[in-house]
Amino acid sequence: MALPTSDTRVTYPDGALTSTGTVLHIEPRADGRAAVVLDETAFHPVDTAWPDQPADHGVLVSGSDEFEIRDAVTGVIHEGVLYLGRDLPVRGGTEGWIFVVAHIVDGPGPAVGDTVEIRVDGEYRRALSAGHTACHLASLALDAALADAWTKPVATDALGNPAFDALAIATSRIDANGSVDVYRIGKSLRKKGFTPATLDDLAAVELRANTLLEQWRSAGGAIRIERDAPELSARRTWVCELQGGRTDIPCGGTHLTDIHQLDQITVSLATNDIDGARELTMTTSTR
Ligand SMILES: [Zn+2]
């Protein structure tokens, strides 16, 4: 069966919840399910290289058949082989590789050549978008709250504060209306000039971050995803007109269109010590 020769075009960065596409490829899986690749989709897949935002929920409709989409993952095609999920051998954007969205449905699924409709669960998408927007704002607020903890000049974030988030992040997970970010404060961060003792008064850091978040939230600010092309592997940037400056952050996820759409956003911080390093966990919740 011929594999697609170009990237899946994705419409979720613009907020689309439905799309119509042609089935280009069906890959049967050992578990009886099938991976369905379309030319275009509104369905946000989990990004295997940086799995921060989970896949959407929704259905794929082909004529009178409706398939629940059990999962959606990014896949890559190289020399006639489709690699899915954790098998991905390279990161996005690599020259000569084709990047696709694989919708996982119960087998055998639709047929190659079918025109199908994608319908995304709008309520769950909205909750993930709120969680993702809040996650970006929280990381910027944490950078600002920890700005005085640095004794040497380091790389800065979109607002000009020392980039604690970018330099210390270990994992980031977005949920419906929230996120959990884990940071590692070890020898290399201390060498760069970070003072771990700043985290001894965690309540003060938390208060600074939450005060800033509430200022930003109440002021509001437009959000959009900028991109040069509709292909899955094209570079996308989260742009937010924040009180205090415009921010640009590379991002493959989905977002709200204005900070004002959040009724509340708060972070809570916790630390624990593991193997000579300190771990900071930031839990963000919003609604
Ligand atoms: Zn993002």
Handedness of CA 34, 38, 41, 46 (dihedral sign): positive
- Separation CA 275–CA 54 (nearest Å): 30
Residue 26: which H helix or E strand, with range? strand 18-28
Complete domains list, the chain, with CATH:
9-120 (2.40.30.130), 123-286 (3.30.980.10)
What is the Å distance from ligand 1's center to 157 Cα?
14
Instruction: Write out the two tokens for 135.
Output: 């996650």
Contact 177, 54 (CB under 8 A): no
Q: How far is the CA of 114 from the centre of ligand 1 (A)?
A: 33
Flag whether pLDDT at 153 surpasses 80. Answer: yes
Q: Give the pLDDT confidence score for residue 48 in this predicted structure.
A: 82
Asked if pLDDT for residue 113 goes beyond 90, the answer is yes
Distance separating the N- and C-terminal Cα atoms of the chain: 46
List, in order, residues 6 or more apart from 58 with CB less than 8 Å away: 43, 69, 118, 119, 120, 121
CA of 252 to the centre of ligand 1 (A): 6
Please tell me the distance from the alpha carbon of residue 36 to that of residue 65, in angstroms, as a whole number.
14
pLDDT of residue 96: 75
- In degrees rounded to 5, what are phi and psi of residue 53? -100, 125
Per-residue pLDDT, averaged over 175-188, amounts to 96
- Residue 125 C-alpha to ligand 1 middle, in angstroms? 14
Mean pLDDT of 215-221: 95
The rounded Å distance from CA 224 to ligand 1 centre is 12
Please check the confidence at residue 43 and state whether its pLDDT lies above 60: yes
For residues 211-235, average pLDDT: 95
Task: Tell me the C-alpha to C-alpha distance, in Å, between residue 110 and each of 38, 41, 136.
Answer: 11, 15, 37
Which residue would you say has higher pLDDT here, 93 or 268? 268
Distance (Å) from CA 250 to ligand 1 centroid? 7
Q: How many residues does the chain have?
A: 287
Residues that place a CB less than 5 A from ion ligand 1: 251, 253
| pLDDT confidence of residue 87 | 66
- Residue 131 CA, ligand 1 centroid: distance in Å: 10
Q: For 71-102, write each residue's pLDDT tens digit.
A: 999 998 888 889 887 666 665 556 778 999 99
In this prediction, what percent of the chain has a pLDDT beyond 90? 85
Confidence at 176, pLDDT banded by 50, 70, 90: very high
The set of residues, in sequence order, having a beta carbon less than 8 Å from that of 81 and lying 6+ positions away, is: none
Centre of ligand 1 from the C-alpha of residue 61, in Å: 29
How many Cβ atoms are within 10 Å of 186's Cβ, its own excluded? 17
Half-sphere exposure of 281 (CA within 13 A, CB side): 9
Asked which of 75-84, 103-112, 113-122, 248-257 is least confident by mean pLDDT, the reply is 75-84
Instruction: Specify the range with the lowest mean pLDDT, choosing from 21-25, 88-92, 138-142, 150-154.
Output: 88-92
